[in-house]
């Protein structure tokens, strides 16, 4: 009975709280992000890498080397690595160490690109964008963690 009264008494407060949250997360924050007002330097670095065409995170990067011998991973290995990355995110705990472990097994930027290509094929998501996530409940890894992966991949050989 007390629960029912609580909801009735606070109905307007709850409704306004939901409206403010949706307004901020869907209208105000995207607008200020577009203007670059609310983005941190780490977030700007990730966003820059996402849109860069010559990035090893681009699923087509590994195809850009023409007749050169390109180092890739096997289909089975890519599927396993993609599953580890996908399953690293939970409701209460995200396992960044598992994701970092996957990328530490790679040695070439072309392998990262191939992995990104397979990730898109399996899950219909851009790997780098997915790792970054968005606001709750689709938040995944921090910009600092994603930048750690980007910097690691920058040390790899091209192909």
Bin 106: left if φ > 0, else alpha if -120 < ψ < 50, else beta.
Answer: beta
Residue 3: what pLDDT? 58
Residues comprising the chain, all counted: 159
Task: Give the number of other Cβ atoms within 10 Å of residue 69's Cβ.
Answer: 7
Q: What is the mean pLDDT of residues 56-77?
A: 92
> pTM here?
0.74
Residue 55: what pLDDT? 94
Residue 104: pLDDT over 90: yes
The HSE-up count of residue 101 (CA atoms within 13 Å, CB side) is 10
List of residues 6+ apart from 98 with CB closer than 8 A: 84, 85, 87, 88
Task: Output the CA–CA distances (angstroms, integers) from residue 137 to 52, 102, 151, in the order listed.
Answer: 27, 24, 26
The larger pLDDT score, comparing residue 33 to residue 63, is at 63
Residue 136: pLDDT over 70: no
List of residues 6+ apart from 142 with CB closer than 8 A: 42
């Amino acid at each position: 009975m007390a629960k029912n009264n609580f909801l009735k008494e606070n109905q307007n407060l709850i409704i306004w709280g939901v409206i403010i949250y949706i307004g901020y997360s869907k209208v105000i924050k995207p607008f200020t992000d577009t203007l670059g007002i609310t983005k941190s330097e780490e977030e700007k670095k990730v966003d820059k890498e996402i849109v860069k065409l010559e990035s090893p995170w681009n699923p087509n990067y590994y195809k850009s080397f023409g007749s050169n011998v390109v180092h890739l991973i096997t289909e089975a290995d890519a599927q396993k690595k993609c599953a580890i990355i996908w399953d690293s995110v939970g409701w209460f705990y995200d396992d960044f160490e598992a994701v970092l472990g996957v990328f530490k097994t790679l040695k070439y930027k072309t392998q990262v690109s191939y992995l990104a290509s397979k990730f898109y094929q399996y899950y219909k998501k851009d790997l780098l964008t997915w790792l970054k996530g968005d606001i709750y409940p689709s938040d995944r890894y921090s910009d600092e963690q994603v930048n750690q992966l980007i910097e690691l991949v920058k040390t790899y050989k091209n192909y």
